[in-house]
Chains A and B, each alone.
Chain A
Amino acid sequence: DAKTTQPNSMESNEEEPVHLPCNHSTISGTDYIHWYRQLPSQGPEYVIHGLTSNVNNRMASLAIAEDRKSSTLILHRATLRDAAVYYCILRGYTGANSKLTFGKGITLSVRP
């Protein structure tokens, strides 16, 4: 399975942008890059996903490196409700690569 590497934790200030990095040097051409986040005692929540081009939605932006070996989740204005564990996951088309396997994620803290 392709793996991702994320820092353990990051702190940010409220209303400032946050850039959460993810390395995935062994990504294959058909792997999608997914981001999910989880608040305590809740199921994960979908944030964004993409393949090659940068993606934007109402929650965040996803910047994907040209070689696709890394990506960055961008929260444009962090709020206290954005404090969560963020998971960067690769998901492919078939077989073992189509599973949704979670790593340790990055814990984001937001200071008021």
Chain B
Amino acid sequence: GAVVSQHPSWVICKSGTSVKIECRSLDFQATTMFWYRQFPKQSLMLMATSNEGSKATYEQGVEKDKFLINHASLTLSTLTVTSAHPEDSSFYICSAIQGINTEAFFGQGTRLTVV
């Protein structure tokens, strides 16, 4: 099946710094990518929907200036957590989808710990 690669798998950063997470679709062109965060024992919470070449659409309550999303090509989207704080520590997951009626493929997730 199709593969979505997410990098890094885990990262520890100091409070106040920024962290970039990459999401690549390795063998297909992703028209849409989704970014999620997941806290322990909770479901995935959709943060934003990203379409190639256009601005991301953020869910209510998600700060677009804090969580910068760039979808520069059909195979790459990035999420930058700016000025990270301990409460931003979470499991971040990306998903890529090729078309309207096709399945979504997910990255392996990035465990972010802000100290």
**What residues make up the interface of A, taking CB atoms closer than 8 Å to B?**
32, 34, 36, 38, 41-46, 49, 51, 85, 87, 93, 98-105
Q: How many A-B residue pairs have CB under 8 A?
A: 56
Most central of A36, A51, A93 by chain B CB within 10 Å:
A36
Q: Which residues of A contact B95 (CB under 8 A)?
A: 43-44, 100
Of chain A, the residue at the smallest CB distance from B51 is A98
Could you say which of B1, B4, B6, B36 contacts A102, with CB atoms under 8 Å apart? B36
Given A43-B6, A104-B43, 16 extra CB contacts under 8 A: A34-B103, A41-B91, A41-B111, A42-B109, A43-B4, A43-B95, A85-B43, A87-B43, A98-B32, A98-B100, A99-B49, A100-B34, A100-B46, A100-B104, A101-B46, A103-B43
Cβ of A101: which chain B residues have Cβ within 8 Å of it? 46
Is B103 within 8 A of A42, CB to CB?
no
B67 at the interface (CB under 8 A from A): no
Residues of chain B whose beta carbon lies under 8 Å from any beta carbon of chain A: 1, 4, 6, 32, 34, 36, 43-46, 49, 91, 93-95, 97, 100-101, 103-109, 111
B-side interface mostly: strand
One of B6, B91, B100, B106 near A45 (C-beta < 8 A): B106
Closest 8 CB pairs of A and B: A43-B106, A102-B44, A46-B103, A43-B109, A44-B106, A102-B43, A43-B93, A43-B108
Across the two chains, which residue of chain B brings its CB closest to A34? Answer: B103
Among A34, A43, A51, A104, which residue has the most Cβ atoms of chain B within 10 A? A43
